[in-house]
Amino acid sequence: MEQSEKKRLQIAACKIRIGAIEGVYHAKSGHPGGSLSAAEIFAYLYFKELNADPAHPKAPDRDRFVLSKGHTCPGLYAALALKGYFPWDELKKLRHIGAMLQGHPDMKGTPGIDMSTGSLGQGVSAACGMALAGKMDGRNYRVYALLGDGEIEEGQVWEAAMFAGHHKLDNLCLFIDDNGLQIDGPTAEIGGPEPIDEKYRAFGFDVQKIDGHDLDAIEAAVGHAKTVKGKPSAIIAKTVKGKGVSYMENQVGWHGKAPNDEQYRVAMRELKQALAELEAE
């Protein structure tokens, strides 16, 4: 990836982090940890990869994105706002009564949301349905879904994996945000989803493991996934939960908690500093 392109995407990722923290802070609740860990994935998909036009959010040939780990929608909402699906100020009304942005994605109320999600394990099945519809209709769109490494403890995720592998849904690409933490502690201690790569391989997927904060690696992995025929793809993205806000990084307590006033100021200072540095370079 060219430096200027990379810079553009890094700036987008940083703004997505800022938007996610804005949303969770103003909501006084929500899920910052997994929103921050997936910021580069959101940035790459919405600002480089997806055929997605805010002016035509229901275009039949658009690429689809399903946030199967729906609780990390503050990050997705920030990406959608940045892309122009709705005004940035909506982020500050996240989770408020009467507001457009719900605590988990609502496809009926929010432009740019391709599937209502939030109950873990369900979004990926819908993504399979979208990929299957594309095959049936001979359309060329691709379907991306983002799952959490905790989420894949849900049995339905493996029903969906078996389905995708069996039906050879090579227009389907799953990202697993492997940040290693879930609400009750490290995934290794709670549900034990590892080895994730071997599991997906056994279900008939082409599997890649990458650093989920490395935009070059994301680009290469998505590029490779597009060349794979007859198999769905799984990109296991090793990430840091809470990435970009010093006191949130790798802290299980920041899965689903809003920063207080002081914490918000610190987070914003750090993120805006990082943004300023990116923009100055």
Contacting residues toward another protein, per CB under 8 A:
60, 64, 66, 106-108, 114-116, 118-119, 121-134, 136-137, 155-156, 159-160, 162-163, 166-167
Q: Residue 195, preceding bond cis, omega within 30 degrees?
A: yes
Looking at residue 140, the DSSP 8-state letter turns out to be -
Identify whether the C-beta of residue 117 lies closer than 8 Å to the C-beta of residue 123. yes
Minimum gap (Å) between residue 129 Cβ and another protein? 2
Computed on alpha carbons and rounded to an integer, the radius of gyration of the chain in Å comes to 17
Minimum gap (Å) between residue 25 Cβ and another protein? 27
- The contacts of residue 277 (CB under 8 Å, 6+ apart) are none
Residue 205 corresponds to which tokens in the numbers above?
Answer: 């997927």
Q: Which is nearer to another protein, 106 or 214 (CB)?
A: 106
Q: Which is nearer to another protein, 193 or 242 (CB)?
A: 193
Minimum gap (Å) between residue 166 Cβ and another protein? 8
Q: Which is nearer to another protein, 119 or 140 (CB)?
A: 119
Q: Which is nearer to another protein, 54 or 129 (CB)?
A: 129
Amino acid at 268: M
Q: Which is nearer to another protein, 107 or 266 (CB)?
A: 107
> Going along the chain, which residue ranges are E strands?
64-67, 143-148, 172-178, 181-182, 185-186, 206-211, 233-238
Q: Report the half-sphere exposure of 125 (CA within 13 A, side-chain side).
A: 15
Minimum gap (Å) between residue 108 Cβ and another protein? 6
Q: What angle do CA 59, 51, 13 make, to 5 degrees?
A: 125
Strand partners, 147: 176
Q: Which is nearer to another protein, 121 or 193 (CB)?
A: 121
Minimum gap (Å) between residue 161 Cβ and another protein? 9
3-state secondary structure of 31: coil
Minimum gap (Å) between residue 164 Cβ and another protein? 10
Q: Which is nearer to another protein, 92 or 167 (CB)?
A: 167
Minimum gap (Å) between residue 231 Cβ and another protein? 18
Looking at residue 84, the DSSP 8-state letter turns out to be T
* Closest residue by Cα to residue 168 from 143, 131, 213: 131
